[in-house]
Amino acid sequence: MSSHISPPSIQEKDLEKDQEPQVTQQTPSRASTPTVASREDENDADSVNAEFERETFGPEPGEKGWDKYEVRITPDDPDSPFRMSRVRRWYITMLGGILVLNATFASSTPSGIVPEMMEYFGFGREVATLTISLFVAGYCVGPLFWGPLSETYGRKPVLFVSFVIYTAFQIGCALSKNTASIIIFRFLGGCFAASPLVVSGALIGDIWDPNTRGKALAFFTLGPFAGPALGPIASGFMSVSGVSWRWTYWLMTIFAGVCSILIFFTLPETYTPILVVKRAQKLRKETGDQNYWAPLERKKLTIVQRLEEVVARPFKVLFAEPMLMALSLFMSFVYGCIYLLFEAFPIVFSIGHGFNAGILGLMFLPLFLGGCLGVVGYLVIWNPKYERLAKECAPHPVPPEARLEQALWAGPAFAISFFWFGWTSYPSISFWAPMMSSVFLGFSVVWIFLGIFNYIIDCYLYVAASALAINAVMRSSFGASFPLFATQMYESLNPRWASTLVGLIACLLVPIPFVLIKYGPALRHKSKYAPTKPIPPKPVKSEEESV
């Protein structure tokens, strides 16, 4: 092993700054040229990661290519997203979670009005399933654009434009007169609703340091998980109440429209390179000196090059990173299983136990409650443990592999929950038995999602949006395809053996976090996109040494 240790990255310096409250740093003036923090020369300055770091924060004085007119925003700058008040940052976090909840709520809501749509449009059960699958299939297309575009034009414009168009397609669904129109509008709605699935996660990475990011993502993760669970409850009771099926889509339209308004009026821009561009424009206007410039302004690309960068970057990150590919496969299977339940639950609870659409929707409630318990468990168990590790590793950041420890427990629990659901699904057994397996399932899914989300953001800080984009594409492809074969699988194999098959596949994926905890540091050392090199944790002093 080489004895050379790379100097701390920007992320590490921000963590070190948080660990030394006694040191008073002078805050730069908003009107002045951005200040520069000292840093040693990096041996990997020509690496891909150094390119993204330089694009975000610029070079240091004396570094090759440094220009005093290059505008910068350092983490301790008043305009930095890290310097916003905690109340405002928590609001942004909650808004990001609501946007994801909106998108995933819309994906599953039509499941409760399937009979009404079949009667009105005259299509079969398979086509009705497409109203869910094609919406989720839109998640496979949208993230390819929304993630990279947010790294080019900023988080707020991408979220606002996509949500306005998504709202319009919801109106189209509510007014649909034929099968073709509702199928097309559902697919296009999914493409535009996918933006918060990748941008919201990157937005949280923009505003939180690693210590607090875990807490923020704990609440954020409820969005992609709670939405699919709550959608059938709302539509199921709307179905039995006698209102038109169109009101389900009007409900989603109102929800999307309110979110669009909140984005426009309350969401600030958080992406540092875009903030640097705005500062450069302001300095040129105030001083009349046109020499001020931002790195993003000098990226002059043709339309073909821009499209290649926007669409290809997520795939470049995926195929260059085996650890990202493995974790995305794990998360994709888990995500697909959530949508598989939309076909499995009606077979177990409606056919097996005779429940109507409203009561069937309530069967998803334990799934949501399990997710809430998962968040509480994370905040009580894993986040305090991470904070202790942060103190032990200071001034260096905690290795990202620490994020995966909870997945070591959640992976087996996820597999067990499907064995539980399957072998208690006999009509002769109380419905409480299979229903309560969803609590265990929801708990494990949240822990898996939180571990993987945190790991991806910690590993790929500067290209987090692209990494999350390809992750969203993979898991959405599973979410879109699983409902298409779930009904046939559960009818032909019966719920016992179908669930057993799912549980056995889950068992095959359980070793992934174990392998990455052991070999992750070596893989990150070879990575082109990981923001830090593996750094040995700082040894903890004993009480005698401290004295």
pLDDT in tens, 31-87: 333 333 333 333 333 344 555 555 555 566 666 666 788 888 888 888 899 999 999
Query: pLDDT tier at 524 (50, 70, 90 boundaries)?
Result: confident
Strand partners, 6: none
DSSP 8-state symbol, 78: T
Smallest Cα–Cα separation from 363: which of 430, 299, 293? Answer: 430
Measuring CA to CA, how many Å separate 447 from each of 297, 372, 409, 416, 451? Answer: 40, 11, 8, 15, 6
Assess whether pLDDT exceeds 70 at residue 155: yes
Angle between helices 195-207 and 86-108 (to 10 degrees): 160
Predicted local confidence at residue 13, as pLDDT = 40
Q: Which residues contact 448 (CB under 8 A, 6 or more apart)?
A: 330, 331, 334, 407, 410, 411, 414
Smallest Cα–Cα separation from 343: which of 199, 525, 492, 161? Answer: 492
- The string of pLDDT tens digits covering residues 111-136 is 889 889 999 999 888 888 889 899 99
What DSSP line would sit under 140-203, residue for residue? HHHHHHHHHHHHHH-HHHHHHHHHHHHHHHHHHHHT--SHHHHHHHHHHHHHHHTHHHHHHHHH
d(CA 145, CA 476): 15
Percent of the chain at pLDDT > 70 equals 83
Assess whether pLDDT exceeds 90 at residue 174: yes
At residue 31, φ and ψ (nearest 5 deg) are: -85, -15
Predicted local confidence at residue 302, as pLDDT = 66
Minimum mean pLDDT range among 53-57, 97-101, 484-488, 522-526: 53-57
- The string of pLDDT tens digits covering residues 406-464 is 999 999 999 999 999 999 999 999 999 999 999 999 999 999 998 998 888 788 877 77
Predicted local confidence at residue 44, as pLDDT = 39
- The string of pLDDT tens digits covering residues 225-244 is 788 888 888 898 898 888 89
Predicted local confidence at residue 515, as pLDDT = 93
- The string of pLDDT tens digits covering residues 235-272 is 988 988 888 999 999 999 999 999 999 999 999 999 99
Predicted local confidence at residue 303, as pLDDT = 56
Smallest Cα–Cα separation from 248: which of 337, 97, 162, 132? Answer: 132
DSSP 8-state symbol, 396: S
Mean pLDDT over residues 160-170, rounded?
97
Predicted local confidence at residue 119, as pLDDT = 92
Tokens 């500067």 belong to residue: 462
Helix, coil or strand: residue 257: helix
- The string of pLDDT tens digits covering residues 284-333 is 999 999 999 988 887 766 656 766 766 787 888 888 888 899 999 999 99
d(CA 353, CA 339): 21
Predicted local confidence at residue 282, as pLDDT = 92
Predicted local confidence at residue 57, as pLDDT = 58
Query: pLDDT tier at 472 (50, 70, 90 boundaries)?
Result: confident
Strand partners, 472: none
Q: What's the residue count for the chain?
A: 547
What burial class does residue 412 get, using C-beta atoms within 10 Å of its C-beta: 0-12 exposed, 13-18 middle, 19+ buried? middle
Helix, coil or strand: residue 70: strand
Question: Residue 435: what residue type?
Answer: M
Q: Is 349 in contact with 421 (CB distance < 8 Å)? A: no
d(CA 189, CA 187): 5
Predicted local confidence at residue 531, as pLDDT = 58
Strand partners, 293: 70
Angle between helices 48-57 and 272-287 (to 10 degrees): 40
Predicted local confidence at residue 460, as pLDDT = 82
Predicted local confidence at residue 12, as pLDDT = 38
